[in-house]
Structure 1
Amino acid sequence: MRESIFTQDFLQAAKDYRLFLDMGYPEKAVASLVGNKYRLSREQRMILYRGVLPSYESEKNAKKKISAKDINGKLIIDGYNVLLTIVNYLTGRTVFISTDSFVRDIGGIHGSIKKQDMLDRAEQLLCDFCRQHIQGEIVVFLDKPVSHSAELAVRLDRLFSSYKIHAEAVLVDSADYELKRHEGVVATSDSVVLSSAACAADLAAEILQENFSPWFPDLRECMS
């Protein structure tokens, strides 16, 4: 996180935001209130909204976290969540550790992913990691409504086949819905999915750490 983003006003805003969340106030309203009070930029507001969770939720999610390398059974991957985190890192966008210990970014899906070269690289990194470290069956869920999801599924299946990985990419109406139904390990940093998960792997973070040795600014330090 660049110093111009990680300001003293932002640090205080993060503490105030967490305090309101712990008191049960709604996220969007509080994010707007605190963001306006401290005159946060759009990027700072997104970091606040996506990265600061209530204390109890942060602790609960952190306890669910396991390493993807330790998984023996089936792994369900939140395809766009994992790939977009990698893409955003590759393009130099802000990627950070949230208060629940999961790595997140400020980007989102707006119908399609335009940086095809970065997406190709993210797909390759995903497959490389799976080939080296994941022993069990792998299923990657992709949201059908996102543009070019069918093409992405075909590319991933080809990579899986060429790498002889026991995996498949599956198009679904809602990846979140399917992930929340799964009783095993899910690979995602989506807080909605994590709230329902029994255990989860921060797969994007592990892939980035193995390939780039990145430094991620840690929002947990703001809460001390």
Structure 2
Amino acid sequence: MNNRNRGKNTGDDGLFGSQKQVDKLKMAAQDMRYLLSRDYPEKASSELVGNRYRLKTRQIQALRGAAASAQQIGNRKLKQAEVSELKDKVVYLDGFNVLILLESLLSGAYIFEGADGCFRDLSGVHGTYKRVNQTQRVIELAALFFQKAEIRKLVWIFDQPVSNSGRIKQMVLDYAEENQLNWEAELAYNPDKFLAESSEIAVSSDAWILDHCQQWFNLIEYLITEEKLDVHLIKMV
């Protein structure tokens, strides 16, 4: 096991750790929602709001991740599945989206809750995925969810172009075999499109997927509540 994790960046406590900064971010998020709801472009809106509140780059990144228009928020809420609706269903899981977000959460990084009720982080896959100390625990949490929700089959979808996607796919399949879980794992060249066009329930907090899929489930919210996860949470609403 290596010593990697996805914890806070140097300086994150200064950007997100005080009530003053959180209040500033909340006001910025309100302004951002106002602009997006009136069809202002996201990039221009975030630059305008960022300048108004003198936000730093990572604060703007958090703001963009959590921002959505009133129409998007309403649409996402309508399509959100309850855990009771997952019983005996096939569920598709956005592999890297869920893995990295939960790895960040378990590492003590700041997690941001948007007006759509979804949780997002400031990490990402930049062409290569590297497993961290928390990766195994994330897979175990997915297994707890799978069993408690009585899901018929869970299918993990990973980005084929990302380096090491084959390795993490195999890690998931090995764990499923050892624990007799009805899981599959697939590599897709465009997992966002794949998940959005699927008729199955999608597990993701990716904004584009949430806007285009038929139905989705908020796994992070479920796990925080059900497994009583300790989280450095910033509510952007």
Give TM-score, length-normalised by structure 1: 0.90
- Note if contact 1:142-1:170 (Cα within 8 Å) is conserved in structure 2: yes
Other-structure match for 2:32: 17
SS at match of 1:139: strand
SS at match of 1:212: coil
- Note if contact 2:196-2:214 (Cα within 8 Å) is conserved in structure 1: no
Measured after TM superposition, the shift of residue 142 of structure 1 is 0.4
Distance in 1 (alpha carbons) for counterparts of 2:174 and 2:26:
45
The 5 A counterparts of 1:91-102 are 91-102=107-118
SS at match of 1:106: coil
Distance in 2 (alpha carbons) for counterparts of 1:15 and 1:202:
22
Measured after TM superposition, the shift of residue 105 of structure 1 is 1.5
The 5 A counterparts of 1:42-61 are 42-61=57-76
Other-structure match for 1:39: 54
Equivalent of 1:127, from 130, 136, 143? 143
Unaligned runs of 5+ in 2: 1-15
Distance in 2 (alpha carbons) for counterparts of 1:203 and 1:62:
14
Distance in 1 (alpha carbons) for counterparts of 2:113 and 2:221:
9
Letter of the 2:124 partner, please give it.
G
Asked if residue 145 in structure 1 is aligned to residue 157 in structure 2, the reply is no
For each residue in 1:116-143, what CA deviation from the matched residue of structure 2 results, as whole angstroms up to 9, or x when unmatched? 2122221222123213323212111000
Measured after TM superposition, the shift of residue 219 of structure 1 is 2.3
Measured after TM superposition, the shift of residue 184 of structure 1 is 2.3
SS at match of 1:141: strand
Measured after TM superposition, the shift of residue 28 of structure 1 is 1.0
For each residue in 1:144-167, what CA deviation from the matched residue of structure 2 results, as whole angstroms up to 9, or x when unmatched? 111211011111001111221111
Measured after TM superposition, the shift of residue 77 of structure 1 is 0.6
Matched residue pairs, number? 220
Asked if residue 200 in structure 1 is aligned to residue 216 in structure 2, the reply is yes
Equivalent of 2:179, from 149, 163, 178? 163
Measured after TM superposition, the shift of residue 2 of structure 1 is 2.6
Residue range with higher mean Cα deviation, 90-99 or 6-15: 6-15
Give TM-score, length-normalised by structure 2: 0.85
Measured after TM superposition, the shift of residue 4 of structure 1 is 5.5
Measured after TM superposition, the shift of residue 5 of structure 1 is 7.0
- Note if contact 1:75-1:139 (Cα within 8 Å) is conserved in structure 2: yes
For each residue in 1:12-49, what CA deviation from the matched residue of structure 2 results, as whole angstroms up to 9, or x when unmatched? 22222111111111001111121122111222111210
Distance in 2 (alpha carbons) for counterparts of 1:154 and 1:162:
12
Q: Identical aligned pairs, as a percentage? A: 25
